[in-house]
Amino acid sequence: MDARGLTGNAQESAEAQVEQEQPSKLAEYANWLLWLITAQLVIADAVFVTYAWEGKHWQLEASVIQVWLVTTLVELIGVALVITRYLFPRRDRQVPSP
């Protein structure tokens, strides 16, 4: 065997190892991000409840509650969309390598 063949085999082996490790890393990233989003929502909701309870004694206008709910929903959908597009890019848009 020549040196070129060994390099090619080593490169293929390294690529195969990366492909095997990638799903576990993606799952780890997804779990961390899920916990971070959950913590952020709990903190934001606690701030809202504290403001409503202590600051306004639950005398909030309906529009305030509607805006809060809509922004929370948009935040969840937006963050989930950004994360999933980053972690799981569409493979059909990539140019195949020769």
> Given this model, what pLDDT does residue 18 score?
61
- Helix pair 3-50, 62-87: axis angle to 10 deg: 170
Alpha carbon distance 64, 56 (integer Å): 12
Of 14, 17, 22, which is closest to residue 88 (Cα–Cα)?
Answer: 22
Percent of the chain with pLDDT over 90: 0
DSSP 88: S
Q: Which residue has the tokens 């190892």?
A: 17
pLDDT tens digits along 3-33: 445 466 666 666 666 666 677 777 787 788 8
**Three-class SS string for 24-53?**
HHHHHHHHHHHHHHHHHHHHHHHHHHHHHH
pLDDT tens digits along 26-75: 778 778 888 888 888 888 888 888 888 887 788 888 898 889 888 888 88
> Given this model, what pLDDT does residue 11 score?
65
